[in-house]
Structure formats: C-alpha cells, structure tokens
Structure 1
Amino acid sequence: MSQVTIEAIAAEVKALVTKVNASQEASQEDLAELKEKLLKLERKTAAGVEELRGAADPLAALAKKLKDSDAMRDVFSGRGSKAGIEFKAADLFQTKATITNQSTGADTPMSQAQRIGIVVPTAVDVNLAILQAIPRGIATSSSVEWVKMTAAKQLAASQYGSPDREGVAKKESGFTFSLQRADVSTIAHWTPVSRQAMDDVSGLAEFLRAELFDGVRRELIRQILVSDGDDAELEGFAKPGNFTTLADVVSGEGRIERIRRTIAKLQALGYTPDAIFLNPLDWADIELQKSAGGSEEFLAGVPRGVNAASLWGVPVYAHEYQPEGTLTVGALAQSATLWMRQEAQLLVTDSHADFFVKNTVAMLAEARAAFTIARPNAIARGLF
C-alpha cells in the first residue's frame, strides 16, 4: 500500500478525535469539515485495500470501525459534539515474524562471523623432542665414514701373576671394528603459493613455514625409526646390523616386564638406556593396565595428573611412525649420532617454471643429514 501508511492514518485519526473532543460546541461548519476529512480518510483506506488486492490490512478494519461508530454518527448528524473510540494495538499494527539471527535455511545472519584466519599449531612437538634426544654431529661432506664396533672383549684386571704383582703381563682386551660409510640424505618438500595469497591472507606465510619444517622433521624421525637405508634414506634402527634383539620372552610376563628386562639386557652390556620408542596405541595399552586383586589402580598412568612419559626411569617417546607391536630401547648417547650437513631451512623463490609471470612463488624446506649407529648392541629392537 504505497500511498497509505499506518503512521499517516494513525496521525490523522488522532488529530480528528482530538479536535472532536476539544469542540464541545462545534459549529455545523466544523462538523461538516470533520465529516469531509473522515470520508477522505475512508477513501484512502479503501484505495489501499484495493491496492493490496484483498490482503489483510489493519487500515481497512480501522476505517470500518470509524464508519460504524454510533458516536461518530451522532457527531456527523449534530446530535452530539464529542466521540470516543477505542483502538487496540492489533487494530493499528500487524504482527510480523520474530527477528532472529539464525544461520540455517535461506536466512542470512545479520551479525558478521568472526574470522580468525589460519592458526599456526603450537602443540608440543614430539618430533623435535626425539631429535633433541639424539646426539648431533656436523657433517662436512656429502658422506660420513665411521668405525662401527662389531665385537668387544674387555678383560681389564689387576696386574698379577702368582705370586708376583710386577714384571708380569697385563690382561689383553680385544675389539673388532669395521669401516662404515653413510651418504648424506637430502630430505625436502615444497608447495606453490600465489603472491596475492601471501600478501592478503594473514598468517599464511607463517603457517606454511611451520608445516614445511614439521614435514622435514617428521620424515627425519620416520627414517631414523623404521628405515633400512634403501632409496637414499637414512640408515635407521631397522637396518640389519644396527640393532640387537630384545630380551627373551618369559612365559606369563606382560609388556611392562618385557621392557624392564630389555633395559636390563642393555645394562648388562655396559650401556645406560635413555630412550624407549613405542607406538601411541601400545603406550596407551601400557598406561591403561591396572593392578590385580580388586584395587584396579593404574600401573603406569595417573589419569588426574600430568605424567612424565617414562618407564623404569627411561623416557618414553610415543610416535606414530614406530610400528604397532614393535619396541625399541636404546642408549642413544652411547651409540647413535645424527650428522647434520644442513639444518632445516626455508627457501622462497619465483624462479621455477613460469612462476614469475604467474605471480607465484615456491616455498621449500629441506635438511641434509646422515645417521650412524656406532654400537649396534646398544640398540634393542623387535616385536613384543
């Protein structure tokens, strides 16, 4: 109803009623003027109703109430000079749908969603923790040669030859070595990204940097834990000749006992184990073990506390690259070295293919390293 509004009609009605109430002795001319205005008001309302083509309109009901009012008829005929007409809110205003901010269906939320952008992970990095646990060395060439001790016979003793303590031969120990060589492996990956995205998306560059570095670290750990050295990979714990077997199986023992006896096996060889590698599912099984006899106390885990992951005083590293059902216990400080030819670094360039004309850059992270185990009997590995 383009020509008639609720506000305009309500204002006119209010003005007319006020004028009628104020005119206790209105003249015929005044009443005629009021009657003419009411007739015009009725015509406006009728026109509006016609425009709405029969749609329900509160103005039509308002006009009808004015027309049918006995008090108004008395004013128009001169039998009265004052009229009071009651209007309810529903007579003047239509009830509309409730205003909401729902985001379903065809409705669009009126409030703008908060966009926080790309979030750079800040969780504890088990990959970095493992790399920090392994002794480091600096590689100065594309390959590393080292001496691996394959056998040792230590016979240190007091100088004595009955009955003499001097002038007699001392005990002789024996060691067997082999010269080994490990090539430096380049571990890298990259991703393309447009300059516009780098400029416009807050946090994208930092996110990509973190993800690329994390990918290099994860691959370093994977190769150390499970690689046998094929396909230019590091010669890790799984390479034949780089480990000894776990302690023998004892009937009826559990995993916690097996780990303890493996630690003892290495200790009996003169080593101090400083790392246990488990699959997260195996570690969870161990932490969830409960004591027998009805107390049901956890043997290794404390649900309500922050647990230092360790067993028998040896740190535990639970990593998804450690195969499920496989245990590795090692004296890393006495046997293993990660030789870094190049620490992980990030390179960014548009000098690739047609990237320059496409406004695209390549982000690349890489590291160069070799891994050696000088004392294989200081690493115990196998199924458990």
Structure 2
Amino acid sequence: MPPAPTLTEQRDEIAKLLADESYDGDVDELLQRADDIAAKIEQANQRDARLRALQAANLPAGDPKPQSNQQRHQPGMQPDDIGRQHPVTVAEAFIRSKALETFRSGNYQGKTGETFGPSDVRDAPAGTTTTGTYPLQNTRVPGVIPENPDYPLMVADLLDQQTSDGTTLEYLRDISGPVTGSGTWNNAAVVAEGKTKPMSGPFEFELVTTTLKTVAHWTPLTRQAADDNSQLMGYINGRLTYGLRFKEDRQVLTGNGTTEMQGILTTPGIGVYQPGSGNTDAKLITVRKARTQAELALYPPDSVILNPLDWQDIELDTDANGQFRVITSVTEPGAAMRLWGLRVVTTVAMAQGTGLLGGFRAGATMWRRQGITILMSDSHASLFIDNTLVILAEHRANVAVHTPAAFVKITFAAAA
C-alpha cells in the first residue's frame, strides 16, 4: 500500500486544481478540501511553535511549584467567540503575525506588513490584559489624543457586503425602475391555456465600469509603543481601523464616483422628496411621506440616515399639549432608534437638512478587496535616526449602487 500523501502534497494537489480553469468537478467540495487542509497546516504550525517554545523554556533552580491553572492571555492571543485560539480583530492578528515577530527580531529595520480579510474585523473581547513577552517599557502616551469623540459607524454596515478578487469593478445599474400605473414594469396576468403570455418590461440597464478605491492613512509611533502589544493594538483598532471606516461612511454617502467611491447621494436616478413651496411639514411628517414614495417605487425601505441635529428635531417634536410625538427611551443607553418602522442611523457624514431613506441591502453592495492591510516601517523621512516608526492602514473598496430607485433623498423644509 503506498504511503498516505503528506500535507504538502495534498496542499499542492488542491492548489493545482483551484488554478485549473477547466476543472469540471464539484467546486464546493474542492473548496471544502482546501479549507480542511489549510486548517490542518495551521494546526501543524501551531503544534511546532508550541513544541519549540516548550523545549526552549528553562525553570529556575529548585523547580518551583506549578502556577495556578487560571488562564491568562497576552494581547493578541484571546480566543474567539467559540473558544478557538484565533485573533478576533485586525489588531490582534497583526500582533500575532510572523511578520511582526521577524520585524521586531531585526531591531525594526525595514518594513513589515500583513493583510487581513473582512472576516477578521470583529469586536474585541472585553477586558484589559498585559504582556511579559518583551522587556518592560516606560508607558508613553501614543501621539496626540484626538479631540473629536468616536462617532457611530453604521452607514456602510447597512449595505450588502461582498468580496472582490480584482481591482476593476463592473456591474449593471438598473435605470428603468418600475413604471407605476402604466403596466409596463409588471404585465403578469392570468393566461388561458394556449394563449400568448404577456411580456413585462422592457428593462433598461447600463454597464458601470469603475475601480476599487484605496482608503489609507498612517501615524507615527515610538519604538517603545511598538514593543508594547497593548499600545500597538490601540493604534490599530482605536485610530487606524476606526479612521478608515469613518472616512468610508462619508464615501458611501457623498463620494464623487470618479476619484472617490460611488456615493449613493451622487448616483443618478435615485428618488427625491422635498416638500413643495410653502409646505411647512415637520421633519417627522416629511420622513413618512418619503417612505411612501419609496414604497410606490416598489422597493420597501428599511433604514433612514439623518444628521444628528435633524434627528434631535424629530425626537424633540411636541404636539399642542407638549407631548413628544416620537416615544424614545431616555433612560436606556443604546436603545434602538426607529421611526415609522425604519432603523434610524445618525451620522455627521450626512449634511444637516438632508436625509437618505431606502432599501439599502437591496439597492447597493459594498465590494471590498483584501480587507485591511497593516504596514509598519522606519523607512520614512528621518524616522530611523529619530527612533520612530510609522504604522499604516489601508484597504480597497467601492460601492455599486445597482438599483438607484431603491433610495430616496430627503430635503427637509426650512424651519418656519
């Protein structure tokens, strides 16, 4: 009986099949095999690493008693939500990467980087941990503490999320939309046997060709901060990753579609609702009428995006008896914000006096490539002689607004 193939041989065989464009076998089964062999290789690497660490460990003279069984984790070593010892955020993945280990062992000369897919961007576990991996350093406050508070990042999360394998994005944009009342959009009918069936349409589409846009920024940090896993994770999670998504929210709404991402508000063909001349409808009423317009377009809306000041006006709107028209919980932090059955998203990325209502998952898709890339280097300006490093985060993405009719731009009437 021939020997069983090694992990390397199995990996090479599957890789060859994946690269074969003429492969006509069960693709789902092939992908499952690829995932299984990747998991086995990762497990083998972890076992090898644990073995080398155990062999290198030396106990002091006297062989002291074993420590308590209480489990401790270094930053970047927390288990995920089902107990697996995998990184749960981009920052933790970077802390655990071989690239960072090699970079540190080389006294931070050159550049290191890692790329993490969208699935790596998850909430970090609660609690604070410490590390003894590297010599203790004096705590230095990293950079300048930002003056602005963290705003909620929810706009991009409303969209359908997909991953792109290339840099060029092509999609069909529906420019026809339903023709309500004329019968051309939907001519479905009961047809007698043997009779000609009616045709619906015609539907009109345009081919949109664009590229994924790169969103990036960097910040300096000291070598002491780079040796401190907790500080390094703070840079990546609290500043760099957050900053990318903060910018992304603005791009989703108002990107120009050429040098920037395609913003929904700048996409031709979206619906528009604005109270007529002399109409002094309250903002609460305006949102309700805009919802009706979206429903008449046959794309049921699920959310509305508002500037915080406009949402404040709606929440504080009172009737003649001084009773609030919108019932909200002022005692429960984080209570869900809803209006006319719609999820309310507030963001300063939306201009005051303007709102966006629509079926976000049905109308647009966020396409991402490679997730977030984290790079660290001393190769910039005079940073090497200043004992300073830079850490950079970037990712590529764009929005495909394939069904503009699913959205309605709201313009509120000026205050009386």
Report percent identity of matched pairs.
28
Of 165, 168, 186, the residue aligned with 1:155 is: 186
The Cα shift of 1:156 comes to: 3.3
Quick one: distance in 1 between partners of 2:310 and 2:275?
Answer: 19
Tell me which residue corresponds to 2:83. none
Partner of 1:145, secondary structure, is strand
Partner of 1:377, secondary structure, is helix
- Taking the TM superposition and a 5 Å limit, the aligned residue runs for 1:317-328 are 317-328=345-356
Tell me which residue corresponds to 2:316. 288
Which residue identity lines up with residue 187 of structure 2 in the other structure? A
Mapped pair 1:233 → 2:264: no
Quick one: distance in 1 between partners of 2:408 and 2:262?
Answer: 15
The Cα shift of 1:206 comes to: 2.7
The Cα shift of 1:310 comes to: 1.2
Contact conserved, 1:242 with 1:373, CA < 8 A, in 2?
Answer: no
Partner of 1:148, secondary structure, is strand
Contact conserved, 1:340 with 1:370, CA < 8 A, in 2?
Answer: yes
Q: 1:194 to 1:124 in 2, by over 3 A?
A: closer
Quick one: distance in 1 between partners of 2:140 and 2:338?
Answer: 38
Q: If you compute each CA radius of gyration, which structure gives the higher value, 1 or 2?
A: 1
Of 119, 126, 129, the residue aligned with 2:152 is: 126
Q: Which has the higher contact order (CA 8 A, sep 6+)?
A: 2
Q: 1:376 to 1:257 in 2, by over 3 A?
A: same
Contact conserved, 2:356 with 2:410, CA < 8 A, in 1?
Answer: yes
Quick one: distance in 1 between partners of 2:389 and 2:340?
Answer: 50
Mapped pair 1:266 → 2:297: no
The Cα shift of 1:259 comes to: 0.5
Contact conserved, 1:187 with 1:366, CA < 8 A, in 2?
Answer: yes
Contact conserved, 1:190 with 1:363, CA < 8 A, in 2?
Answer: yes
Tell me which residue corresponds to 1:139. 164
Q: Please report the TM-score for the alignment, with normalisation by the length of structure 2.
A: 0.57
Of 217, 234, 240, the residue aligned with 1:207 is: 234
The Cα shift of 1:253 comes to: 2.2
Which residue identity lines up with residue 270 of structure 2 in the other structure? F
Q: 1:179 to 1:120 in 2, by over 3 A?
A: same
Of 233, 250, 262, the residue aligned with 1:222 is: 250
Of 390, 400, 410, the residue aligned with 1:362 is: 390
Partner of 2:207, secondary structure, is strand
The Cα shift of 1:370 comes to: 1.0
Which residue identity lines up with residue 170 of structure 2 in the other structure? E
Structure with a larger share of its residues in helix = 1
Of 198, 202, 215, the residue aligned with 1:171 is: 198
- Taking the TM superposition and a 5 Å limit, the aligned residue runs for 1:95-110 are none
Unaligned segments of structure 1, at least 5 residues: 1-114
Deviations 1:59-109 (A, max 9, x none): xxxxxxxxxxxxxxxxxxxxxxxxxxxxxxxxxxxxxxxxxxxxxxxxxxx
Pick which of 150-159 and 336-345 moved more: 150-159
- Count of equivalent residues: 261
Quick one: distance in 2 between partners of 1:311 and 1:196?
Answer: 49
Deviations 1:329-380 (A, max 9, x none): 0111111000001312322122334433443211001110011111111111
Q: Please report the TM-score for the alignment, with normalisation by the length of structure 1.
A: 0.62
Partner of 1:140, secondary structure, is coil
Quick one: distance in 2 between partners of 1:328 and 1:316?
Answer: 10
Deviations 1:271-318 (A, max 9, x none): 1211211101111111111122x2533434343344311101111110
Tell me which residue corresponds to 1:191. 219
Partner of 2:311, secondary structure, is helix
Unaligned segments of structure 2, at least 5 residues: 1-138, 178-183
Quick one: distance in 2 between partners of 1:242 and 1:190?
Answer: 37
Tell me which residue corresponds to 1:314. 342
Mapped pair 1:279 → 2:304: no
Which residue identity lines up with residue 145 of structure 1 in the other structure? E
Tell me which residue corresponds to 1:348. 376
Quick one: distance in 1 between partners of 2:313 and 2:266?
Answer: 27
